[in-house]
Amino acid sequence: MERRRLAIGVGGAVVLVAALDAYVVTTILVTVLRELKLPVDHLERITPVVTGFLLGYVAAMPLLGRLSDRLGRRGVIEACLVVFAAGSVVTALAAAPHGVLVMTIGRAVQGMAGGALLPVTMALAGDLWEEKRRPVVLGAIGSAQELGSALGPLYGAALASAASWRLIFWINVPVVVLALVAVHFTVPNGRPEPADRPGIDVVGGVLLAAGLGLLVVGVYNPAPDESALPSWGVPTLVAGAVVLALFVLWEIRARTRLLDLAGTRRGPLFATLGVSFLSGAALIVTLVDVQLVAQTLLNEDALGGALRLAWFLGALLVAAVLGGLVTARIGERTPLVVGMAVAAGGYALIANWPADMTAASYGPLPRMAVDLVVTGLGLGLVIAPVSSAVLRTVPAAQFGIASAAVVVARMMGMLLGISALTAWGLRRFHTLTAHLQPPLPFFLSKSEYNAALATYTQKLQDALRTEYQEIFWISAALCALGAVVALAAPGRRAEVPASRPSGDQLLTGS
C-alpha cells in the first residue's frame, strides 16, 4: 500500500475513535445519573458532561490545528492521543459525591484532544495530496467523522449494557496505545522551515473559546424550578456576547486569523456554515432527547433507547451517501434545502407523538420508527452538500481549514443548542410540575395510596411528554430556518474561486 494512503488511513481511524466518543454519552445519561445517585428528574445536573466535551472540542480545534504547522503533524497527533487517554481515565474514575464535576473535567479534556485530531488529519491530507485529488481525501476523512458520530450512541449503549458505562472510557486506553504505535510508524513528521511557519492566532482562539464558554455557563441553571436563568445568567450572557463581538473585531483586524476570508464568496460561505450550525443543534437534540423519551417515558434501558435511535442513525448514514450522489448531479443548494425541509417535517411528526407512542403506527409500520427515519433522511441528506458547498466557496489553498470550519459550526450548534434547549426544557418541566405534590402513605389505605401514586406518576409523565414535544417543535423551526438559509448556498453552476499562491491555510486545517 502507498505510504501516504496508509498514513491517512491511520489518521482517519484516529478521527473515528474521537468521533465515537463525541456522542457516546448521549445514550447513557440516565444510567450515569442513577449510578452517581442523582434523581432522574434533575437532568440539568448532568448536562455539563455533554457541553464540557463540545466546548473543549470547539475551543481546541483551531489552535491545535495551527500548532501542528509549527511542530509537525505526527507530534501533535501523538500528544493529543495521550491527552485523550488521560481524559478517558479521569472520566472513568468519576464517582459520587463529585462525580459530575470529575466527569465534566474528564470529558472537557477528551474534547480538547479529540477536537484537534480532525483538523490535523485534514492538514495532513493537504501535505500529502496535490490540489486536484485533495477534496476526495478530505471527504474520506469527513466520512470517518460522520461514521463515528452515527455509531457513537450505539457503541456506548452496547458497552454499558454488556458491562458498565465506565468500560466505554477504560477501553480507550489500549486503543490509544495501538493508535500511537500506528501513528509513529506511518505518519510523517516533516516541519516547515522557521521562516515558513505560520503564526498562531492565540488571541482569536482564546476569545472564541471564552465567549462560547460564557454563553454556556450563562444558560446552565442548576435550579430551573426557581427561575429561567441562574442569578449569574444575564451578566454572563452579556459578557459572552461582548467577548464574541471582540472576537469578530479581532479577526477583522488581525494579521493572523483563524479563518482568512480573502478570496472567499462570503454570502454562500456563511449560508452554508449557518446550515451546518442549525443542523448541529437539531442533531444533538435528537441524540439526547429521543434517548430520554425512551428511558423516561417508555421505561427502556440504555440499549433499548439506542435501538430506538438506530432508526434515525441508520437513515442518517444512508442519506449521507445519497446526498453525495445527488450533489454530484444537481449541485448543493437543492439537497440542502430539501434535506432541512424534510428534517423540519420529521421533527413536526415526532412532536406529535401520542401518549401511547409505541402502539401508534402508519398501517403496518410503527410510527416512532417511521418518524425517526424521515428525520434521519432529512439531516443525512445535508451532510455531503454542506462540505462540498464550503469547498466551492473558498480558494483551494483553504480547503483544509474550510472543511474544519464546517465541523466547528456544527459543534457550535450542538453546544449552544443543547445548552439553551436543555435549560428551557427543564424550566418548562418544573413549571408544569410545580403544583404537584407526591402522595404520602400516611392516613391512606394501600389501595388509595397506590391510586394516588399512579395519578402523580402519570402527571409527571404528561409534563415530560409536553417538554419533549415543545423541544421537538423548536427543532422543527430550526430546520425550517435552515431550509430558508440554504437558499443562499452555492447553486449548480457556481464557479470555484481561483487558488491563491499561498497554501498556509490549507496545510493548517485549523
DSSP state for residue 214 in the 8-state scheme: H
> Do residues 312 and 373 lie in contact, with contact meaning Cβ atoms separated by under 8 Å?
yes
Mean pLDDT across 8-29: 86
**What fold is seen in the domain 263-510?**
Growth Hormone; Chain: A; (1.20.1250)
When the candidates are 1.20.1250.20, 1.10.540.10, 3.40.50.300, 3.40.190.10, the CATH number that belongs to 1-194 is 1.20.1250.20
135-176, pLDDT tens digit by residue? 567 667 767 877 787 788 888 888 888 888 999 999 999 999
- Position 42 scores a pLDDT of 67
Spatial CA neighbour of 57 closest among 421, 403, 409, 398 = 409
For 221, half-sphere exposure in the C-beta direction (CA atoms, 13 angstrom radius) is 23
For 47, other C-beta atoms within 10 Å of its C-beta total 23
**pLDDT range class, residue 115, cuts 50, 70, 90:** confident
242-261, pLDDT tens digit by residue? 999 998 898 888 777 766 66
**pLDDT range class, residue 41, cuts 50, 70, 90:** low
462-501, pLDDT tens digit by residue? 888 999 999 999 999 999 999 999 999 887 644 444 444 3
Pairing of strands 361-362, 365-366: antiparallel
**pLDDT range class, residue 43, cuts 50, 70, 90:** low
> Do residues 132 and 33 lie in contact, with contact meaning Cβ atoms separated by under 8 Å?
no
Mean pLDDT across 98-116: 90
295-347, pLDDT tens digit by residue? 888 888 878 888 899 999 889 888 888 888 888 788 889 999 999 999 999 99
- Position 288 scores a pLDDT of 86
**pLDDT range class, residue 222, cuts 50, 70, 90:** confident
Strand partners, 365: 362
Max CA pair span of the chain: 84
Buried b (16+ CB within 10 A) or exposed e, 116-148: bbbbbbbbbbbbbbeeeebbebbbebbbbbbbb
Residue 423 has pLDDT above 80, yes or no: no
- Position 161 scores a pLDDT of 85
Residue count (the chain): 510
Buried b (16+ CB within 10 A) or exposed e, 58-74: bbbbbbbbbbbbbebbb
pTM across the whole model: 0.78
- Position 432 scores a pLDDT of 85
d(CA 239, CA 261) in angstroms, rounded, equals: 26
Mean pLDDT across 287-293: 88
For 503, other C-beta atoms within 10 Å of its C-beta total 18
Share of the chain above pLDDT 90, in %: 28
> Do residues 9 and 178 lie in contact, with contact meaning Cβ atoms separated by under 8 Å?
no
- Position 162 scores a pLDDT of 85
**pLDDT range class, residue 503, cuts 50, 70, 90:** very low
> Do residues 225 and 49 lie in contact, with contact meaning Cβ atoms separated by under 8 Å?
no
Spatial CA neighbour of 297 closest among 305, 285, 307, 288 = 305
Distance of CA 25 to the CA centre of its chain: 11
Of the ranges 114-118, 130-134, 155-159, 422-426, the best mean pLDDT one: 155-159
Q: Determine the residue type at 464.
A: L
Of the listed ranges 265-269, 289-293, 466-470, 480-484, the least confidently predicted one is 265-269
Strand partners, 362: 365
**DSSP H helices in 93-201:** 99-128, 134-162, 167-170, 172-186
- Position 396 scores a pLDDT of 62
Residue 254's SS3 state is: coil
Average pLDDT over the chain, rounded to whole?
83
424-448, pLDDT tens digit by residue? 887 788 788 888 888 888 878 888 8
